[in-house]
Structure 1
Amino acid sequence: INLSFFLTLLCADLFSPPCQSAPVGLNSSSVFHNVTLSTVMRCEGRQKCSLHLRVSTVLHLTESIHGVSICTLTAGMMGACRLLSFSKASRQKLDGQQVAYCLEVQVTLKTLPSYCGVTWTRSYRSPDCRSGDLRRHIPECITGRLWYDVNPEKKELTVRVSDMLEDKDYHLRLCRKGFICTGTGSSALIKKEETKKNATLSYSRPLPCLCIEGWSATMDAPRVQVCPFKDRLEELWFGVTYDPVEETLSWEPTCPVTAEITLCQKGEDGVCVDLPRTSQTVGREKVEPHPEMCMKVMITTDFALFGS
């Protein structure tokens, strides 16, 4: 018998009776053939879809097998089983077990009655929100798509939103990307009733870590980010200051970076030659961020060269 079905699993049969000794010649390879696991979407509307587990198998029935049980188990959740009994006249429609995206599921098939050693078990990982279909149709994956135009004279970003959740408002903000994306104070709320889904956000400097972040006005909504100035590395040097009295060079970049500092001596040809054993790599990956934390480089010449 060729079975292809969706699982609607019940919290039952979790404490089933012990398995029976299998008849001679009966084993998992002789009963279950070509078992495949996959996910499908069940939709009630364009943006109202859910993900369901699909199990397909060829089952070899004998007089000693009356049906099959299908059980799933995920970490931190109670297991669930569905019992299917077969007869010549039996027919039933199976709707499907809803599963979360990016979820590890263990699926086990057993015979009815349960025979010792006659089982099929595999792990299956449901797709994550990077899948295009999920990002368009699963509410928990829909982030919206961001488009922008830059007005450098006014220091403004005009942001347009498409493919957002139709029944929810939408948040937009500017943030500096680092350990987290820290808001700059420039934000907007697009109402779901508005025909034009756009807003204008102001910025002070076109920093490479400055990003536009958008998300639907719902609990634990996924977020999308685009960084318009990610290639503007020269903007990082605006955090460099030199104190001629203390002979200190300080660099407090607005964006979190990893940098290699090297002292060098400038020759008559204009080339700055690195001084041996003066290189130092600094970064903020393992340092708790603080607005007063600075990087200080002591120099003994009147010249210093920084590279991006």
Structure 2
Amino acid sequence: SSDVFTNTSISTVMRCEGVRQCSLHLQVNTHLQLKKHIQGIYMCTVSAAMMEQCRLLSFSRSQKEKMVDHQVNIQDNCLEVGIGQDVYITLQTWPQFCNVAHSRAYHVPAGKIDYEVDLERKELHISVSDMLEDRDYHVRLCHKDYICAGTGAHVLLKKDNPVKNITLKYTKPVPCLCIEGWSVMTDASRVRVCPFKNRVEELWSGITFDPVEETISWEASCQVNAVISLCELQEQGMCQQLANSSQKYVKGMVTFKAVDPHPRLCMKFVTEAGTWIKCPFTGGNFPG
């Protein structure tokens, strides 16, 4: 019968063997209409990142004698899962009969981050939902590279605080500036959203000129692969590249020496995403 398993609920629980040896497990609750031929139940989980895990919960003879033809409440929390995983859970009787099974998908909470940008105040208004109920939650701003390096803006959301809204200030709205969140636990997976990921234009600001050394310099706020050169702005809006001025950029500072400041002297940035031209001396400005 398809109603062998009823009132099934799935959640998560933290199990700890020591102070720091904690791991996340599924908490499965179900009601089973126990028949005399049912010796136990199989409980299996499978996900894209893990092999199938199965447990057999068997009933002793004395238990069966007391509970046969009654509804039995079964609880189990021995199947380990990871934060943010999508798992598929199947409950089956043992031995199996008539293909009776109860299956459902479950998403292990990892924390969902929503945000609003206040460009004038340079603030990010952040709200967190879908986080583990029994864990505090870190939220910070970071610059994404091979790792996400913190900018210093960091808040710990307490699990018992019903308000999960915070405001963090940023300096520049660059593409690699991200909001990162994770539960307070060992090896917690991290949720990351980058509000300004499409604002590549912001990378080309920050050109400086040293009139004493006669050098013009630029350094990216984010890692970017680009070819940078000096060029002379033409009347038609084209920028004629100066000979032997091309430099390939990955990180660090790019410097051009023996520069004579001129309103039509510009820097050209070429990436896979496009080409940008910045003219720091337009209008007699001398960035320092």
Pairwise TM-score range, normalised by the shorter structure: 0.5 to 0.7
1:203 and 2:170 equivalent?
Answer: yes
1:46 and 2:11 equivalent?
Answer: yes
Change (3 A) 1:201 1:267: closer
Partner residue of 1:231 out of 182, 187, 198 = 198
Which residue of structure 1 lines up, in the alignment, with residue 266 of structure 2? Answer: 304
User: Could you tell me how far 1:224 is from its partner in structure 2?
Assistant: 0.5
User: Could you tell me how far 1:218 is from its partner in structure 2?
Assistant: 1.3
Contact kept in structure 1, 2:47 and 2:88, CA below 8 Å: no
Letter in 1 for 2:249: V
Give unpaired runs (5+ residues) of structure 2.
1-7, 14-24, 28-36, 53-80, 90-104, 270-275, 277-288
1:220 and 2:182 equivalent?
Answer: no
Q: Secondary structure at the match of 2:139?
A: strand
Which residue of structure 1 lines up, in the alignment, with residue 213 of structure 2? Answer: 246
Which residue of structure 2 lines up, in the alignment, with residue 177 of structure 1? Answer: 144
Q: Matched residue pairs, number?
A: 200
Which residue of structure 2 lines up, in the alignment, with residue 102 of structure 1? Answer: 49
Letter in 1 for 2:230: L
CA distance in 1 between counterparts of 2:137 and 2:200 reads 30
Change (3 A) 1:218 1:128: closer
Contact kept in structure 1, 2:83 and 2:189, CA below 8 Å: no
Give unpaired runs (5+ residues) of structure 1.
1-42, 52-89, 106-125, 285-292
CA distance in 1 between counterparts of 2:159 and 2:38 reads 45
User: Could you tell me how far 1:221 is from its partner in structure 2?
Assistant: 0.9
CA distance in 2 between counterparts of 1:281 and 1:207 reads 21
User: Could you tell me how far 1:171 is from its partner in structure 2?
Assistant: 0.9
Q: Secondary structure at the match of 1:264?
A: strand
Change (3 A) 1:244 1:169: same
1:256 and 2:223 equivalent?
Answer: yes
> 1:82-161 residue pairs with structure 2 within 5 A?
93=40, 95-96=42-43, 102-103=49-50, 131=86, 137=106, 139=108, 142-161=109-128
Which of the two has greater strand per residue?
Answer: 2
| Regions of 4+ moved over 6 Å | 97-100
Change (3 A) 1:299 1:230: farther
Query: Please, what TM-score do these two structures have when normalized by structure 1?
Result: 0.54
Contact kept in structure 2, 1:169 and 1:189, CA below 8 Å: yes
Change (3 A) 1:130 1:251: farther
User: Could you tell me how far 1:263 is from its partner in structure 2?
Assistant: 3.0
Q: What percent identity do the matched residue pairs reach?
A: 42
Query: Please, what TM-score do these two structures have when normalized by structure 2?
Result: 0.57
